[in-house]
Amino acid sequence: MKDVVIRNLKLADYDDVYDLEKQVYNIHYIYRSDIYNDVNSLFPKEFYNSIIKDNDAINIGIECNKEIVAVLLASIKETNNISIVKKRRFCFIDDIVVDKSYRRKGFAKRLFEELKLRLKKLNVQDIELVVWPFNKEAIGFYESLGMSVKNLRYELKTCEDIKTEIMEIKTSQKAKEKQ
């Protein structure tokens, strides 16, 4: 692809980033409408601006033909100052999103490799993220990068209405996947 460049995200990239985040949000809403609201507006421009201006953040994108088609949003964090946990700095990836029409072209991997280069300069050695178990494609991608499960987070729905709603969503999604 011509005119492909990895660069820091800018305030002016808001609309492109918003459109990408909407794609990933829709997947989360489909699978976990018990957690995510059906909203018309994901986040205001002021929130995006605060992320871009954050000195502890690494927010990079791939620009292709003057449009941001993939993003990686991450931040440098430190463990809490408690005696039982070793003090350390690590990178937490909030999102990696590639526009649906640009997937499977190596863009996410290129963003991840760029992140690793930047973290090396900052002497940050650990990268962490959270992925939902329904997102098999993302799990496969992260494992292909050499990532492994650090811990598991469990839940129990005690309200029958919510349990039924989740089962209906999962069943309808499996039916869509078989088509």
Q: Quick one: average pLDDT of 62-87?
A: 91
| Residue 101 backbone phi and psi in degrees, to 5 | -85, -5
Count how many domains the chain has. Answer: 1
Specify the pairing of strand 4-8 against strand 57-64. antiparallel
Q: What range does the domain containing 10 cover?
A: 4-178
Of the listed ranges 3-7, 88-92, 165-169, the one predicted with least confidence: 165-169
Specify the pairing of strand 89-98 against strand 67-78. antiparallel
| Residue 11 pLDDT > 80 | yes
Please tell me which of 49-53, 154-158, 164-168 the model is most confident about, judged by mean pLDDT. Answer: 49-53
Query: In this predicted structure, what is the pLDDT of residue 177?
Result: 62
CATH number at residue 150: 3.40.630.30
Nearest to 25 by CA among 43, 50, 45: 43
Nearest to 56 by CA among 73, 37, 35: 73
CB 92 within 8 A of CB 75: yes
Give the pLDDT band (50/70/90) at residue 164: low
| Residue 163 pLDDT > 60 | no
| Residue 162 pLDDT > 80 | no
pTM: 0.84
